[in-house]
A and B are shown apart, each in its own frame.
Chain A
């Protein structure tokens, strides 16, 4: 049984088609998707109160930085995975969080989430 089963994963991704695919990946892995949020505002609302085990955040949401959402999650000690088209060399304040480049595979998502929970 995967460690990811029933884990509640917040998804913030403004590209609907990518968000749908990630939702499918996570569902196939047995996790529960919170969101997906397509704006920073809705991401903030979820990050504040929702019951979340980990988050996969797109770095740029409709030309806004996702950083405030990440900050809230950090306060709650929720592990974060950044997904970005900039790739691993992206200039973001990852502060120890994992960064994955787009496009990514289900296997990669599974691997980074597993390592989040293994810590």
Chain B
């Protein structure tokens, strides 16, 4: 590269002697660049100066985004030339501290032949490459072209570098402006589309910007922002606190987070949480705040609803005097609420545990509260129990526990959640009722005994046969038997099997001669009293004349319930003496045939078959059970 001059690392010192026209051109350049707003204007101003002071033909090239040096502005160059040499650059994009390259005569360089040819055919002999630099990196160059070999003067080079520096600065400023505009545009776009409310205020708290969502919230247009007073939309109860927080942030130039209710364009108050930060200029001047409002109304309302529902549950549990607890079956951890401790008379300082619970349970009732984990079914299941506790103060209380076992993903139970409550009063009431019924039964049977005594005295001395007296006495005792059974169940029901067993037992029938088979049937008090008299008469007849009157006979008593919910009861005697129908229908027979028939709407058949008496009853089950028909029909 002989004739090509590389200017050294130290740029040539500007000589004191600058021509007036050069100074005027530089002044004009500075002024034009200052006024230029676009790249075209900047490049045009630069070319004006370059062609005025350095040479009539010149060009400015810049790297494009792909890093290719492109002609941006030129004077005195053909299209052909520019097309041919576009992209030809001595520097790669970003090259640091590039130096001007001054070529006196292209012919004496070792550039490729085609380059030399292209330059020559454009009528160019000497040329200069002046780098354009931004932040010390090359961003482009300007070129000057000369028709003859050109000797570059140092004043010429100084001038070129001064122009290049001015041009580089202006391009940099333009790019910064564009970047800022772009970034502001990006922010505006993002802010406009954001699904939150965004705002920007000036240093006094006045609105500079409200995004679309916030403008829609308040129903204001961009043109109305100057006069818009957001503070007037604050709920009166919240305005003091919010305004204090905002003024505090503005005067203290600090961040802000505050919640308050604001009236929206529909006149509805919404709870907004505002989070904001101060904005500063690059010189540190406070510009105002930028912030985001988030609508918390739904969250507030659902939290309030949740609080309300929790409060309701708490009060309901308090009203039911219920203690609640949870038992984690995997970790064996328990948690009890305050009332649970109160219920058990334990200090809340004691950590809840299965052992603490068991320590209070009455020793005789432990079996009611202990369960085997493996016995719990998969899925949800209920566990209920009644048990006594002995509280540390010595008081014995009855507790009812209702628990729900809940299962994990595999269906196995993982926790029990339950309530306990005190049922001591209820238990005492039940006991009182039981005692009352026992007392009533006692009196009824005393009365029956008095009736028996009256009959005994009345029919004494030949007024009636001993047989008649005995029959009466037997019937009275049969009634007493039914009373006993009913008393045991609080007069709710008596089992058919127990009734048959007890009444025949009271007549002294040998159990070995009885067979009783049938499903469990609970008789209402009415049905029990009717049936006991029938069974007693049948027993009396069997003892006197039938299967129990010899040593070998027996009675088979069985019943079943058919699909129509009809109870079919059969009393069948066997092995007794040969049977013949009675010659006279006595009270006993009438009782057998009519008591059940009339009282219970039953079909009754008494068959004096020669092999043994057969007595059958067919009666709808609901007639026996005192229940509405539909209830038993299922």
Chain A residues with CB under 8 Å of chain B are: 15, 17-18, 20-21, 24, 60, 84-89, 101-105, 107
- Chain B, residues 429-449, CB within 8 Å of chain A (1/0): the string is 000000000100111111011
B473 within 8 A of A: yes
The answer on a CB contact under 8 Å between A85 and B484 is: no
The answer on a CB contact under 8 Å between B454 and A101 is: no
The answer on a CB contact under 8 Å between A17 and B450 is: yes
Q: Assess A103 versus B477: contact at CB under 8 Å? Given A18-B450, A87-B445.
A: yes
Nearest chain B CB to A100 CB, angstrom units: 11
The answer on a CB contact under 8 Å between B453 and A18 is: yes
B491 within 8 A of A: no
Nearest chain A CB to B484 CB, angstrom units: 5
- List 15 interface pairs A-B (beta carbons < 8 Å), by A numbering: A15-B446, A17-B457, A18-B450, A18-B452, A21-B453, A85-B442, A85-B443, A101-B445, A101-B480, A101-B484, A102-B449, A103-B452, A103-B473, A103-B477, A105-B477
Q: How many contacts A-B (CB < 8 Å)? A: 67
Nearest chain A CB to B480 CB, angstrom units: 6
How far apart are the CA atoms of A107 and B449 in the complex, in Å? 15
Nearest chain A CB to B59 CB, angstrom units: 126
Q: Collect the chain A residues with CB atoms within 8 Å of residue B444's CB.
A: 85
Q: Assess A21 versus B446: contact at CB under 8 Å? Given A86-B438, A103-B476.
A: no
B511 within 8 A of A: no
Interface residues of B in 108-145 (CB under 8 A from A): none
The answer on a CB contact under 8 Å between A105 and B473 is: yes
Q: Assess A87 versus B443: contact at CB under 8 Å? Given A24-B456, A103-B452.
A: no
Chain B residues with CB under 8 Å of chain A are: 438, 441-446, 448-454, 456-457, 460, 470, 473-474, 476-477, 480, 484, 487-488, 508
Starting from the known contacts A87-B480, A103-B448, 9 additional A-B residue pairs (CB-CB under 8 Å) come to: A15-B453, A17-B454, A18-B449, A18-B450, A20-B457, A85-B445, A86-B441, A105-B473, A105-B474
Nearest chain B CB to A38 CB, angstrom units: 14
Nearest chain B CB to A19 CB, angstrom units: 8
The answer on a CB contact under 8 Å between B441 and A85 is: yes
Nearest chain B CB to A24 CB, angstrom units: 7
Nearest chain B CB to A27 CB, angstrom units: 12
Chain B interface mostly helix, strand, loop or mixed?
helix
How far apart are the CA atoms of A96 and B99 in the complex, in Å? 131
Nearest chain B CB to A36 CB, angstrom units: 12
How far apart are the CA atoms of A24 and B441 in the complex, in Å? 26
Q: Collect the chain A residues with CB atoms within 8 Å of residue B451's CB.
A: 103
Q: Collect the chain A residues with CB atoms within 8 Å of residue B449's CB.
A: 15, 18, 85, 102-104
- Which residue of chain A is the closest to B474 with respect to CB atoms? A105
How far apart are the CA atoms of A25 and B454 in the complex, in Å? 14
Q: Collect the chain A residues with CB atoms within 8 Å of residue B484's CB.
A: 87-89, 101
Q: Collect the chain A residues with CB atoms within 8 Å of residue B445's CB.
A: 85-87, 101-103
How far apart are the CA atoms of A101 and B448 in the complex, in Å? 11
Nearest chain A CB to B626 CB, angstrom units: 23
Q: Collect the chain B residues with CB atoms within 8 Å of residue A101's CB.
A: 445, 480, 484
How far apart are the CA atoms of A56 and B477 in the complex, in Å? 19
Nearest chain B CB to A96 CB, angstrom units: 22
The answer on a CB contact under 8 Å between A84 and B442 is: yes
Q: Collect the chain A residues with CB atoms within 8 Å of residue B460's CB.
A: 24
Nearest chain B CB to A87 CB, angstrom units: 5
Q: Collect the chain A residues with CB atoms within 8 Å of residue B453's CB.
A: 15, 17-18, 20-21
Q: Which of A21, A84, A88, A103 has the most CB of B within 10 A?
A: A103
Q: Collect the chain B residues with CB atoms within 8 Å of residue A18's CB.
A: 446, 449-450, 452-453
How far apart are the CA atoms of A22 and B457 in the complex, in Å? 11
